Each structure stands twice: as structure tokens, then as C-alpha cells.
Amino acid sequence: MIYMIIYSHLDYQFLVLITKKDLYFYLTEDFERNGFCYSCLYIIKRWILDVCGSERAKVLGYLILLRKCEYHHNNKRLLHHKIAYFFYKVRLMRLGAKLNLRLPINKIGYGLRIHHIAGGGGCLLYCKSMGNYCGINSGVLVGNNKETTDVPTIGNNVMLNTGVKVFGNIQIGDNVNIGAGSVVTKSIPSNSIAVGIPAKVIKSV
């Protein structure tokens, strides 16, 4: 069974990772968005690439650890899940430190694509939620500003390109593409392209 929470402020469905079926679904969608197929054969291939120092393998390894953290965290009323959560959380933090990549658990929807993180300044993401099928690139920073401790809410199918900064209690709608180097301090409507400092909508799609 797949459980759902519906966030009314953006009207999108956000799956909560509860069962092993949910875990497999999340990982399958994440891997497909990153150009790979999640399977036992690929796990062996990823391990070989990881040994050889492949950035892509390490990023996919980070996604596996992230989703397993979510799965065990959401079931940690059971002792073995508590132990597994601690184990995977430590591994997630260590790998995140190496990649300069930090993503929150239970905040990001399935189908996440991560581009060129290790070679371009990493990524730090603190948000209320990020929808499904989103993409992040190197140098992305999402969090609060000086005026508030609130953080952004990001919809479905949003692309945050290289060096994008998103600050404050704002909402990024669905199907939004934010251009490289942009600084977003105000809400962006759905189906739009925004660029600049501060970011402004230049086109509706």
C-alpha cells in the first residue's frame, strides 16, 4: 500500500515512503531520472564505478542512502528500523560531506535528478517540501533569509540550475525553470521561466 499526503497549498501529491514497495518505487523513479535503471545488476555496476571514483556512482549512492533513511525513519517505532536508521544516517552524512551535498529527509518527492554536484560547489537544500520530478545542479542553495526562519516550498517538475539561490518563506510553483545564477526572494508562479538577481519571470510556458 502506498500512503499519500496532499499539500493543499500547491495541490500536488507527495508520497510518504512507508513500505518496501514505496522504497523501490522512489529509487526506481530517482534512477530513471538520472539515466539509469534500478536493478540488482545496476547495483553491482554502481559498486564497481564507486570503487573507480565515479562522481555519478557516488551521487546515486547518496540517493540510495537518502531513501533508505526515509524508509527506516518512517518505521522507527520498531527497534530494528531505529538501528538501521542510525546506521544509514551516519553513512548519508559522511557521503554528503564528501560530495558537499546535504538534502533533508522526508521533504523531497520521487524522481529527483542531481547534476554535477561534486565538481561545482555542492548543494545545500533546506525547504518545507520539494515536489516530484525536480532537478538540482551544482552550487544550489535553498534556505531561510535574514528576516525569517521560514524556508521555501517547491512544487513539482522544478529545475534549479547552477548557482541558484532560493531564500525565505516563498513558493515556487509547478513546472518552473530557474536560470543559472539567479537569486529568488519572491514566489514564482507555475509554468514559468525565471532568471536574474533578483529573479523575475521572463516567460510563461
Domain stop point among 101, 131, 149? 101
One domain, residues 131 and 156: yes
C-alpha 80/C-alpha 154 separation (Å) is 33
Q: How many domains does the chain have?
A: 2
124 grid coordinates: 545545500
Unique residue bearing C-alpha cell 542510525? 86
pLDDT at residue number 136: 93
Report the CATH number at residue 182.
2.160.10.10
Domain stop point among 101, 136, 162? 101
One domain, residues 75 and 125: no
Instruction: Give the mean pLDDT of 59-87.
Output: 92
Instruction: Give the mean pLDDT of 11-32.
Output: 79
Is the pLDDT at 36 greater than 80, yes or no?
no
What are the residue ranges of helices labelled H in 34-78?
40-51, 55-73
Domain stop point among 70, 101, 132? 101
Per-residue pLDDT of 147-165, as tens digits, reads: 778 899 999 999 999 999 9
Instruction: Give the mean pLDDT of 16-26.
Output: 87
- CA 34 remoteness from chain centre: 12
Please report whether residue 108 resides in a domain: no
Boundaries of domain holding 190 = 113-204
One domain, residues 145 and 185: yes
